[in-house]
Amino acid sequence: MSKYPGPDIPPPSYEPPTEASPSSSMPVPPTPATADEKSYGKAVQPQQPLLQPEFAGYSTLRHGPIQMVCPYCGVNVVTEIHHKVGVVAGVGALLTGFVFLPLFWVPLVMKSCKDTVHACPNCHRFLGRVGALQ
C-alpha cells in the first residue's frame, strides 16, 4: 500500500477558504503570533523612554560661563569659554582698514568683537557658540 492518495481523491485547494464556500476537509492552520502578541507568561509592561540629559539651548548661552548638564558626558558642569574671531571682528577689521589702515587689527583683539565658544570642562566637547552681537 502506498503513502500517496490514489487518483480518485482530488488535491486540496490552494485558495484560502471564503465565508460563502463550505469548509474544506483540510483544516486551515492558525496564523503564527508575532513577538508583540507573545507574552511568554509575563504581564506586558510598556517600555520607559530613555532619559536624555537636558541641553541648554542656544538661547540660554551667553557671553559668560553657564551651569548646565553636558549632553555628551552627562555631568553637571560650568562651561569653559573661549573667544574666537568671528564675522563681526572680520567685518570690523575691514571697515577699520578702509578708514585708517594702521588700526585694522584692533577689532581682531577686542573681546567684545569676538564670538564666545562654550565647551565642557570634563569631556572638552563643543557645546555652543554665541555671536558678538547677540
What are the boundaries of each domain within the chain? 67-130
pLDDT average per 10 residues of sequence, the chain (134 residues):
63 70 58 57 56 52 89 92 94 95 94 94 93 88
What pLDDT sits at residue 53? Answer: 47
What pLDDT sits at residue 16? Answer: 74
Assigned C-alpha cell, 111: 573681546
For residues 90 and 132, what is the distance between their CA atoms, to the nearest angstrom?
11
What pLDDT sits at residue 62? Answer: 84
Name 87's Cβ contacts closer than 8 Å, sequence gap at least 6. 131
Residue 28 CA, chain-centre distance (Å), reads 45
Tracing cell 488535491 back to the chain, one arrives at: 11
Q: What is the pTM of this model?
A: 0.55
What pLDDT sits at residue 96? Answer: 95
Name 29's Cβ contacts closer than 8 Å, sequence gap at least 6. none
